[in-house]
Amino acid sequence: MSVSVYPSRRSFLLLSATALALAGCSTTAVLVPTPGAEDDTEAALPTVNKLRQSRGLSTLTLDPSARKAAAAQAVRMAKAQEMKHLIGFGDDFGARMKRNDVTLPAAENIASGQTSVDAAVDAWINSPKHLENMLGGYKGLGVAMSKASDGRTYWAMVLSG
């Protein structure tokens, strides 16, 4: 009886598919939050609350989970040097919020290039979709900034339910 040392075609295809799938996970480092964010929630909160009050809406509170999620997103964007809500294969907003224990519903505003938290908040106020998020039925807030290796700033605001 002879035993073949060569894998079957099926085994070869299965191993190849697994290798390709694992190779596609090279963006994992971008998806994992790392230290390097500046929490600007306390600086942004008065401006956001003044805006909300001027529209007859309730004020927001500092939300530790939203702060954590905003910091994670700012760092992810800075590491990727891309202003995007979704970074990397399989990224999912809902899963990110859940992973950071953010109370749903939630929304996220992002920005890049502003040199201060006031400039980032002003950019969001002057953008209809971002403004709509800030005036939504949310209760909590988190705002953070991270700098990329080239010095560009990346901002994230998370609003939580």
Q: What is the pLDDT of residues 60-118, one digit of tens each?
A: 999 999 999 999 999 999 998 887 776 767 778 888 899 999 999 999 999 999 999 99
Determine the angle formed by the axes of helices 41-54 and 64-80, rounding to 10 degrees: 110
CATH number for domain 37-160, candidates 3.30.930.10, 3.40.33.10, 3.20.20.10, 3.40.50.2300: 3.40.33.10
Cα 97 to Cα 106: distance, rounded to the nearest angstrom: 8
6 pLDDT above the threshold of 60: no
Beta strand pairing call for 61-62 and 140-147: parallel
Instruction: Encode pLDDT of 103-142 as tens digits.
Output: 999 999 999 999 999 999 999 999 999 999 999 999 999 9
Q: What is the pLDDT of residue 15?
A: 37
CB atoms within 10 A of CB 10: 8
**pLDDT band (50, 70, 90) for residue 49:** very high
Cβ neighbours around 142 below 10 Å, total: 32
Average pLDDT over residues 3-13: 40
- Four-residue CA torsion sign, 53, 130, 37, 65: positive
Distances (CA, A) of 133 to 22, 23, 39, 139, 149: 36, 36, 20, 12, 29
Give the model's pLDDT for residue 117.
97
